[in-house]
Amino acid sequence: MTYTDWRHDRIGAAHRGQNPTVLRRLGAGFAAIGDRQFLPGYSVLLTDDSSVTRLSDLPRPRRIAYLTDLERLAEAVERACRRLDPAFRRVNIEILGNTDPYLHAHIWPRYDWEPADRVRLPVWLYAEEYWRAEQYALTSRHDGLRATIGEELDALVEPWEGSG
């Protein structure tokens, strides 16, 4: 598998430690930073089971664990973005599943500096250039952002997590 092949099997690559977007392994999934960063801090919670296509596929305890991970990642993104950009506004959380067949949730930071005609609309209405342009690709220039989200994820560990 080459470095770029991880995109064709994001969950498998995460399990193998080959998905470079993974920030942390959580209880029921993987916290990952998004491939595109036109809204800095965009992150995704991947399920840890690629056969799961929707939230209702999970047994209730796993569903609750996934939603708990989602809440934790969303709060970590919120805290990190607020620390790094005073124009941070809020986060939007979406579980769509219309393109990728596996369960995943999007955490979109929103900012006051966004164009007035976009800031109140869904992110998906941003022009194609934002989704494809190299200037928005995840690169090493995002290492500080990645580290800050990771720090916030670590700070949000519940006291009961990790205790055996």
- Is residue 19 domain-resident? no
Closest by CA position to 124, among listed 136, 112, 108: 108
pTM of the model: 0.91
Which structure tokens are listed for 95? 């579980």
- Is residue 151 domain-resident? yes
pLDDT at 119: 87
pLDDT at 163: 45
In order along its 164 residues, the chain shows pLDDT tens digits of: 344 578 788 999 999 999 999 999 999 999 999 999 999 999 999 999 999 999 999 999 999 999 999 999 999 999 999 999 999 999 999 998 888 889 999 999 999 999 988 888 899 999 999 999 999 999 999 999 999 999 999 999 865 455 44
- Is residue 78 domain-resident? yes
Q: Which domain holds residue 128?
A: 24-155
Check which CATH number belongs to the domain holding 108 and give it: 3.30.428.10
- Is residue 103 domain-resident? yes
Helix orientation angle between 60-84 and 143-155, rounded to the nearest 10 degrees: 130
pLDDT at 158: 66
- Is residue 57 domain-resident? yes
pLDDT at 75: 98
Number of domains present in the structure of the chain: 1
Order of strands across the sheet with 104-111?
A: 22-25, 29-33, 43-47, 104-111, 88-94
pLDDT at 161: 52
